[in-house]
Amino acid sequence: MSTTRPDLLDPSTIAALGRIEIVARWIVDGFLTGLHRSPRKGFSVEFAEHRPYLPGDELRYVDWKIAARADKWVVKQYEEETNLRATIVLDVSRSMAWRGDESRLTKLAYAERLAAAIALLFLRQRDAVGLVRFDDIVRSAVPPRVRTGQWQRIVAALDDPGAGRASFAPAALEQAGRLIVRRGMIVLISDLLMDPPEVIARVRGLRHAGHHVAVLHVMDPAERDLPARGDALFVDPESEIEVPAASAEVRAAYRETVDRALGEWRDALAGVGAAYELVITDAPFGVPLRRAFAVRQRLP
């Protein structure tokens, strides 16, 4: 771990080393180590409370009186210190629990760790971050906050039960929009196995409200390129529809269909001003994390 940045490791390898909160810290620490400059901005002047010092915090905001008196490092936190209010919208439907190979993480396990890393990265940017989890309904909603304990609330929410059969993103996106009082950022993490029109309509509404939207489209490598394994039974985990077919016979048509679907999502989201990134679950976490960070850095 000392010679290799954790955010560039194989995702299944680093995920096996600890719980979500530990892995997320390693990923973010590695990612920040790779940055050439600090993205931190200024604070306001209205003091609110103290919070524990985190690696990477600017030393000028450490309360040295408390450090000298109690031998404890804390940082002065301010009422309007946040640069942004962001909500991560995470798909926990049944299709997200799939993986094409036992050696890889499921789409959900990958997405949960990615969501945790994005949340921690934004919190270290002094951004208020919340979380909405959904399948066919909204399963949990953590309002965006930046104060002490928010990281623990988000991690606890990631452990909540879910995995309903279907997925319905519009309701979750609407909930995310309601959680952000002023203009902010919404990050949707999903395999997008849903009808585009309703999702695009909701994203358009969020954009009209002034919110920035980034979509991280999570796919397993076996979904991107169908393996050649002879006869197979293809099962939709949400509808449970079964279709028998020979993989070799449908591979080319399958790839063409997938490419067309990806293009439709990319074009439709770009058309309403949303950022889009395809995320394959064997890619290091630093790859999609950098994309989310890049979108964040372009915001005022």
DSSP for the chain reads --SS-GGGS-HHHHHTTS-HHHHHHHHHHHHHHT-SS-------S-EEEEEE--TT--GGGB-HHHHHHHS--EEEEETT--S-EEEEEEE-SGGGG--SSTTSPPHHHHHHHHHHHHHHHHHHTT-EEEEEEESSSEEEEEEEE-STTHHHHHHHHHTS----SS--HHHHHHHHHHH-SSS-EEEEEE---S-HHHHHHHHHHHHHTT-EEEEEEEE-HHHHS----SEEEEE-TTT--EEEEEHHHHHHHHHHHHHHHHHHHHHHHHHTT-EEEEEETTS-THHHHHHHHHHHHT--
> Under 8 Å CB-to-CB from 121, ≥6 apart: which residues?
28, 31, 32, 289, 292, 293
- List the structure tokens of 181: 């009082």
Return the ∠ at Cα 291 (arms to 42 and 192), rounded to 5°.
125
Please give the pLDDT value at position 275. 96
Q: What domains sit in the chain, N to C, each tagged with a CATH number?
A: 43-80 (no CATH), 85-297 (3.40.50.410)
Model pTM score: 0.80
Q: What is the per-residue pLDDT across 201-254, written as a single tens digit (0 to 9) for each?
A: 999 999 999 999 999 999 999 998 877 665 666 666 666 777 776 666 677 788
First-residue to last-residue Cα distance in the chain: 35
Q: β-strands 128-134, 138-145: how paired?
A: antiparallel
Look up residue 261 and give its amino acid: A
pLDDT at 51: 66
Cα 2 to Cα 18, 30, 33, 116, distances in angstroms = 16, 10, 12, 22
pLDDT more than 70, % of the chain:
82
Report the pLDDT averaged over residues 271-285: 97
Whether 39 shows a pLDDT value over 60: the answer reads no
26 pLDDT exceeds 80?
yes
**8 A C-beta contact, residue 223 and residue 282:** no
Q: How confident is the model at residue 210, as a pLDDT?
A: 93
The residue-averaged pLDDT of 272-276 equals 97
Q: Residue 52 phi/psi, 5° resolution?
A: -60, 145
Residue listed under structure tokens 């996106």: 173
The mean pLDDT of 25-49, rounded to a whole number, is 63
How sure is the predictor about 274, in pLDDT bands with cuts at 50, 70 and 90? very high
> For residue 163, what pLDDT is reported?
64
Residue 142 makes CB contacts below 8 A (sequence gap 6+) with 130, 131, 132, 150, 153, 154, 157
Of 18-32, 125-139, 153-167, the least confident:
153-167
User: Does residue 191 carry a pLDDT above 80?
Assistant: yes
Q: Indicate the average pLDDT of the chain.
A: 85
The larger pLDDT score, comparing residue 55 to residue 78, is at: 55
CB-CB neighbours of 1 under 10 Å: 11
pLDDT band at 52 (very low <50, low <70, confident <90, very high): confident
Could you tell me the pLDDT band of residue 255, with boundaries at 50, 70 and 90?
confident
Query: Does the pLDDT of residue 41 top 50, yes or no?
Result: no
41-50, 77-86, 116-125, 132-141: least confidently modelled range = 41-50
Instruction: Give the per-residue pLDDT at 272.
Output: 97
pLDDT at 25: 94
Which positions ≥6 away from 82 have C-beta within 8 Å?
126, 127, 128, 146
| C-alpha to C-alpha distances, 139 to 133, 167, 176, 258, nearest whole angstrom | 5, 11, 12, 29
